[in-house]
Structure formats: C-alpha cells, structure tokens
Amino acid sequence: MDPDSGLNVPAYEPADVDLTDSSLYLNRELSALAFQRRVLHEALDERNPLLERVRFLAIVTRNLDEFTMKRIGGLKQQTEADVTETAPDGRTPREQWEEVHETLRPMLATQARCYRDAIRPALAAEGIDILDYDDATAAEQSELRTYFEESVLPTLTPLSFDPAHPFPFISNRSLSLAVLTRQPNADDPTFTRIKIPPNRPRLVQLGDETRYVPLEEVIRANLDLLLPNVEIVDTALFRLTRNAEVRRNQEIAEDLIDMVEDVIEQRRFASVVRMEISEDADSRIRSTLATQLGLDEREIYDLPGPLDYRDFAELTDLDRPDLSLDEWTPQPHPRLDSHRQQPSNASESTGASVFSRIRDGDILLHHPYHDFTDTVQRFLSEAAEDPDVLAVKAAIYRTASDSQIIQSLITAAENGKQVAVMVELKARFDEQNNLEWVRKLEENGIHVAYGTVGLKTHTKTALVVREEDDGVQLYSHIGTGNYHSETAKGYVDLGLLTADRDIGRDLTKVFNFFTGPSLDEEFRELLIAPVTMRREFTRCIRREAQHAQAGRPARIVAKVNGLEDPAIVAELYRASMAGVDIDLIVRDICRLRPGLEGISENVSVYSLVGRFLEHSRIFYFENGARAEPGPEDDWGEPEYYIGSADWMTRNLDYRVEAVTPVANPEIQRQLRFNLELVLADNRKLWEMDSDGEYHQRYPADGERVISAQDILMREALKAGRSEDHAAGMPGDYPPSSDLCIAGDSTRQTAAETPSESEVETEGQYAATSDETPGREPSEVTDGGETDQILSKYGDRWYVPDSVVYDYAVRTPDGERRYLKTKAGVTDLLKRLYSDTE
C-alpha cells in the first residue's frame, strides 16, 4: 500500500542516505529469537524467585515451540519451494532458515543447562526434589511400579516399526520414548515408539512429599511390564515439532468453516521441522527417526532431558510463598467500583449503571492492574440485561474456553437485543476453540460473521447501542487485548470505554463491514486498517519531522509488540535524521537499528520483560506541544493513541485493526505516566544496541530499583484507597511537563536518591526537580569542532536529570529542548544561535 496516498505531508528526504540499504534493517526471525533470549533470561536471573524462574522455563518452551511451528515452518516451506526473494535485511529464506537453527540451538542448550545446573539443584535445596528413578528409595520404586502397572500401563500403546508395521504417526509436540528391542535369537533390533501420555501427571509425586519422578523415567524403568519377553537394547526420549503453516486458498474455499477445519486437520499431519532428542541416543534410534521423518541434520537437536518443560509449571502451584512472587489480585477500577461512594458531582444514576459512569467521562482500563471481570465483562453483562439496550456488537479474536463474554452475548440475544458477533476463525492455534463458539452462538440465534477474504479481523472492539432520554447513545470499548478473562490476568493491556459519538459511529461502520459487502474508507476518529491507519501514522511521523526542521520540539514515543514494517522503519529513520527524538518500546520483533551515525542517532529502542506479558500499544506524538503556536497554526497539542495494531505489515495492510485517539486530558496523563514509568525502569528494561544486541538496564550502586510493573500494581492498590475517582492510576511520576525529565538538574547521585519509603510516601518515582547547577562543559568536551561549539555555548546547554536524555538546550525564547546525542546538541545550538552572534 502506498503510504503517500492521500497524504499532504511530504517525506523528509535526507541527502546521501539510501533507505533501501539492507544493512539498515534487522532480520525479523533473528529479532524474534532475541526476544526469546530475554524471556529465557528471566529463568536465568537469580534475582527472581525460584518458582518464577521455573515458570519462565515453561514459557520459553511454549514460545519456542510456537516460533518453530510458525516461523521455521514457513521458512522451510519457502526453501522447499525454491523461493529466493530476499527479506528487507537481504537474506533469502534458506539463509534465514540456516541462521535461525544456528541461533536456536544454543538457546535450547542454555535452557537445559539452566534446569540441570541451577534450577533443579536450587529446588532440591528447598526440599523440592526432581529425582531420577534410580535416586528413589527401594520402597518408593516399588510404589512407582505399582502406580505404573495400575494407572499408566493401560493408557500406553506401543507402536513398532518393522516389516509388518508401518512407521507410526507421531503427533506434534508430544513427548515420546523410542525403544530398541530384540527378540530372542534375532540379529536386528526393532524400533518401537511409546507416547508419554499427556493425560497423566508428568511429575509423579512420591507420597505426600514434594519429591517427584518424571513420568518418562517411570515408564522407562518399567518397560518389562509393557514389552515382556524381549531384550530392551536402548531407549531415548524425543519430541517433534511440526509445521503450522498449512493454508488453503480462501478465494476458492466454498465455506470458510470447512476451510479452517481442513487446515486444523492438515496441521496434525504437517511436515516435521524440528526434532529434539536425548543427547545420548543410540545412533540407530537417531538415524531411524531422521530417515523416516525426512529430517535434515540441522533440524535435529541433541539435548539432555527432560526436553519439554511445559509441565514443570505445575510446580508454581505449590504453597511456597517464600519461593514465589507476591500474589497479585486485579483491582476494581475506581470509576466502576460499585462498593465505594462516588463523587458528588457525578450523575444521580451513577450508582445504577456502568453506562452512566461512562457518560460522566471516558474511562481508561489497565489490565491486569484493573480487574477484567469488573470492567469489560461488566460492560457487556449489563448491556445484556439492560432493558434500554437495543443492540450489542463485539469482535472476538481469542477468548477463554469458558468465556463469560460469550455467555453475555447469548443472554443479550435471549433478552431480545440485536446481537452481531465477529469471530475470527483464522486466529492461529485458536481455530478449534473459535469454531466451537461460532456453533454455540449460531445455535442461540446470533448472527455471526466468521472471517473476511484476504484479511484477519484483529480489532478488540465492542459496541453497545442504548435508548436514552436524549436519544440513542453509542457506548464503545476499544482495547489492545483480547476478550479473554484468563490472559487478562497476565497480559498488560489497555482499553477505553467511551460515549464519544464519533467513535461510536466509526465502530458502527466497522461492524457493518463484518456483515456487509465493503469497508468504508472515511472515519471521523478511529484509525482503521487496512484503509486509513498506515496513512495516518505516516502523517503523524512526518509531521514530527516538520516540527523538528522548523526548530520546534519534536518527539515520538511508541509502545508496541512488534516493529517490522519496512516503510514505517524508513519513516522513523527520516524523522530521526530530521531531528525528532524517538523512543520505541518494542516487546518483540524490531527491524530498526538505533544509534546509527547520521541516521538513527536520535532513536532508542527498549524492551520490557517482566512477570506480565507487555501487550499494550500506545502511540505518542508531541506535535509541537512544548512550543507556542500562532493563531493560524493547527499544532501545539500532543496526540495519544491506543489500539490493537502493531507497526507490522500484517497489521497495517492485511488485518482489520482499530486504533483510537485519546483526547481526555486525565487519560492522556495516565498514558504518559505509563510510558514514563517504562522508560525509567532499571529492573526489567532492556536497551538495544545498533547491532541488534540487547543489554538489560541495572540500577547503579545505591540507586533505587524501579520496576514499572511493580509500581503499577502499587498504584492500582493506591487508587482503590484514594478519594481521586478520576484516575485509574493516580501516579504522578515524573512531576515535570516533559517526558522523562525531572528538572534542570544534574544526574542525581546515589547519595541524593530518596529512600523507597520516602518515594512511596510522596507518590514520586523520580529524582527531585529542584534546579541545581548544570555540569561544566569541560567535563564533557575534549576538543574537536563539535566540542568547540559546546564550549562556545556552554551557558546555553546543560545535563538534565533524566533517564532518557543526556543533554538539554535553553532556547532564545526561554524554552528547553532535550536531546540524546552530542551531535544533536551541536546542530541545535548552531541553528539557534549562530545567526545571532
């Protein structure tokens, strides 16, 4: 899609820079694996409680499984189809496939070493023993044999491979035991596959103690009961991962439901793209599997057991608070809490309805700090029961298996309301779950749209139409996360509840598209992909470049899950070269390389990995907010947006997405608080180098630890006790009007840092804003043209107290400009003062 289509803001075109140069773009797949290394670090990090480290071992397995199924599977398909088209970083599919395996192999080895050398011994030291079978006592082994014979053996089905039996089908991600057996007087052994039953506990508990033996060890030690009268020659644990990139052409599919069901079935039998196998496996087992499954040597991963760590997450349910993070219970939102007295200026009906509270003013929801049930679920459940509600519409991408959201929609239909639901059948790995919801909804007479040809529906939106005294009112929910009650407990997401009529009308158009023939291309407020979103984001980025070129403050802060789209990356490069300060909080994939001389010196890239999965999308464009606009200027107010879309090509061009502007000053303040807090984090935040490597930020000696997620939990608890009913998050860090600036002071020393108790008492999470003398220019200048300029104008720049900026410049009109690089300061000083002296 042409980003210039319909734009009236020209692109800033720097001289002598080729933005198509592949060296400017990081590889998507390797960037995704870099994120998984950061996730793995949570298991390695000894500062984390032990059971939290175990939880992350399981998360890493699930994440890398999905990456292998989706990304490696897709690369293998392209390679086998002889696709040679290069990615923006210049790599062919084959080159990417080879590099991904080279990168993944040491990661899985590190995970295995972490379990073997660190976590398993640490668990044992705490009285939680994961034993080898031979380490159990004789009495315990006798109990395990009885358990095997009575509770496990009947569930097993040994599948042999010999002239009378074909090679068995081995399901995706199932853990298996390969066994070589030899009949009496036979020369060659027989290969047999035994599936470790997933419906039996993986960690078999010994009595009432926290002592466990892995189920595969129990089976291995008692094979004589399962395979009698044969010699057990050798055994090896192994596990397969199959390709998930199985597709059918939607254009020729007669029925989307049939197509999705067919894809699910094909995925079961898709080609194998990785095999993990015990590092000491007999060569005959290894070669049999490799030959029969058609595996390249690079697809075979020799690893120590237990191979699959997903089931070890069961240990996190142990009643060991000393080894776990403090429990977190999502809090009621102050504006929606039915158990507290509302402010006297609220409408008389405030206590009766969630809708009257929304009419009192927009509400920002922040999960998992705010309770999903008490907010989003309540919004839809009240709509289902409210006699004045005429219609309820919702877009479902993923939802819980026991979804109360779905039940509310069914209740609404039973109560005579018009109900329309968009269920995205193509939500990867949730297809089967969504198929079941489609059938249940349709059985209850609800009109269901379940897909769009060529597009996925990824919006997280709901609309309630209500008859009121002053006419029909529209109530909207636009979120960054799915309508999923379980993930809402562990994913950081935002949602806006609003009675804004223009937003409601825009959502009406979107829902009409789901059931109608076409998508409108004109919207009042919402940015909608694939029709307006790319153009509007491009406009916002270019406008910041114009502000910078005009000498006005210019700044972009974006918090997304992924930054992959090459055109958006190029626009950000242009903005940086124009002088825009850019901070990107990118959880996962990032193609952009920060800190490139002359190109992205003004760009910083961060990633936050903590106990909750960062999933919210926030976009901030300063729009000259720190400069004084003239009467004819249409700038001067910052712009904030939240919504479902990342800056990825799939989101901008191939999905239906919705991003909403946020105009309410109080909600803008809360979004600002969120962004500032993440950028100030020195416990869980990572920063990217120009080569794509990440380094975790650590507090200096004596510096207060700032963990954004921990502070947000405390703020949510504080909001529940506060009399300030306007804010979902009352925090006011930092106190300055500039993002991440605490004042005209030098960086605070450790001795000056307030204590944690002082910080909590005052509700501040930054340094004092008292102005102190700036650092002398001689401390940062050592000759050269750049430093001569800094020395010449030493009274017009200083070092601010900031976690983001290294420099600040005082402008002739008394404003301040904050910059990250010495080159940026030099350029600004010359532009501001060289003509006046």
Catalytic positions, written as ranges: 458
For residues 340 and 337, give the distance between their C-alpha atoms in angstroms, rounded to a whole number. Answer: 6
Backbone angles phi, psi at 638, to 5 degrees: -65, 155
Q: Is the peptide bond before 306 cis (omega within 30 degrees of 0)?
A: yes
Sign of CA dihedral 119, 121, 126, 127: positive
Sign of the C-alpha dihedral computed for residues 339, 345, 346 and 348 taken in this order: positive
Rg (C-alpha) for the chain, rounded Å, is 29
Nearest to 499 by CA among 306, 362, 336, 348: 362
| 613 vs 721: CA distance, rounded Å | 26
How many degrees, rounded to 5, is the angle at CA 531 between CA 650 and CA 28? 20
10 Å CB burial of residue 525 (0-12, 13-18, 19+) is buried
- Whether 579 contacts 827, CB under 8 Å: yes
Sorted by sequence, the CB contacts under 8 Å of residue 782 that are 6+ apart come out as none
| Contact between residue 463 and residue 498 where contact means Cβ atoms under 8 Å apart | no
Nearest Cα to Cα of residue 274 among 292, 297, 308: 297
Give the CA count within 13 Å in the CB-facing half-sphere of 603.
29
Place of tokens 């290394």: 37
Instruction: Measure the CA–CA gap between 611 and 481, rounded to whole angstroms.
Output: 17
Residue 525 to residue 505: CA distance in whole angstroms: 9
Tell me how crowded residue 205 is: count the other CB atoms within 10 A of its CB: 12
347 in helix, strand or coil?
coil
Q: Respond yes or no on whether the N-terminal peptide bond of residue 184 is cis (omega within 30° of 0).
A: no
Measure the CA angle with vertex 228, ends 227 and 231; round to 5°: 85
Cα dist. 72→28, 32, 456 in Å?
Answer: 12, 12, 22
Separation CA 645–CA 647 (nearest Å): 7
Give the helix ranges, DSSP H, for 193-333.
215-221, 223-226, 256-268, 283-293
Q: Could you tell me which of 365, 364, 371 has the C-alpha nearest to residue 328?
A: 371
Cβ proximity of 754 and 734 under 8 Å: no
